Structure 1
Amino acid sequence: MATAPSSLPRPSLFLLHLPLLTFLLAAALAADAWTGEIHGRVVCDVCADSAIGPEDHVLKGAEVAVLCITKSGEVINYQAFTNSKGIYTIAETMPESDRWDSCLARPISSFHHHCTRRGDAHSAVKFTYNKQSGNSHSVKTFLYKPTNVPLYCS
């Protein structure tokens, strides 16, 4: 018995291979991409003793600036704010040839009326970013001090 030819059009060879071509193109682009991340914390040093203790607390909404120079010489300025856990994060995906080379992180301001003085006048942190793609760099904790230190700290 002979079967009747289908009335449905046959997909072209290109359409059959479109998902494979899309995957290969995405893989090729991802191979040249680099992703980096910088994160840190901001804390209120309640007793102004430059040590984090049980009386200290994280600062939500504190502003941090991170300035990075890329391997190609471009200067990129980032701004971040801390979350409810006092953590800020900066992340970027870029071509491998433009990845971060060195960065400088510094606290900008604290919006907590009781803890607004920077803990260290020279609290900026400069570092070389030599992490592989997908890894992160942790910056030392930035401290703010209260305008008036509580009596129980003495």
Structure 2
Amino acid sequence: MAIGVRAWTGEIHGTVICDVCSDSSIGPEDHGLEGAEVAVLCITKSGEVLNYQAFTNLKGIYRVAETMPESDRWDVCLARSISSFHELCTHIRNSNSGVKFSYYHPSGHSHTVRPFVYRPASVPTFCI
């Protein structure tokens, strides 16, 4: 990094959830999906396209972060769920749903993306 260039740090995070009963509401039976894949594409203020790939942790949380010169910071990003490796929850509720957002946060702040929700192929009997 050149002398006099201010560094900027940003973070994007969110969750991937299994809606066990496919009822479109988060209840005690629902849980975060470990190992789900999420892609985040960002265009910087200087026009560079950056692609990130993230996998969720035990609680279904994914996170991407970057430190770069202030002049190259993220401008617009798109987050999209790619896949779930969970044995039951493999159908994303809205398969074409990506979340596009402008990143206006100052250095050191983060943006939370709305949850990506998967559902099982068939609803368990305890939900009916």
TM-score by length of structure 2 reads 0.94
Per chain length, whose mean CA-contact separation is higher, i.e. which structure has more relative contact order (CA < 8 Å, sep 6+)? 2
2:48 maps to which residue? Answer: 74
Deviation of residue 30 (structure 1)? 8.1
1:123 offset after TM fit, Å? Answer: 2.2
The whole-number CA distance in structure 2 between the counterparts of 1:106 and 1:143 is 11
Q: Give 4+ residue runs of structure 1 displaced > 3 Å after superposition.
A: 28-31
Q: Which runs of 5+ in 2 are unaligned?
A: none
Confirm whether residue 95 of structure 1 aligns to residue 50 of structure 2: no
Paired residue for 1:60, among 31, 34, 38?
34
Q: Distance in 2 between matches of 1:69 and 1:45?
A: 32
Name the count of aligned residue pairs: 127
| Residue ranges of structure 1 left out of the alignment (5+ in a row) | 1-27
Partners of 1:65 and 1:107 within 8 A in 2: yes
Give the CA RMSD over aligned residues.
Answer: 1.4
In structure 1, how many angstroms separate the alpha carbons of the residues matched to 2:35 and 2:66? Answer: 21
Q: Is the 2:31–2:59 Cα contact (8 Å) retained in structure 1?
A: no
Structure 2 equivalent of residue 146 of structure 1: 120
Considering fraction of residues, name the structure with more helix.
Answer: 1
* Pairs within 5 Å for 1:129-144: 129-144=103-118
Contact 1:45/1:119, CA 8 A, preserved across alignment: no
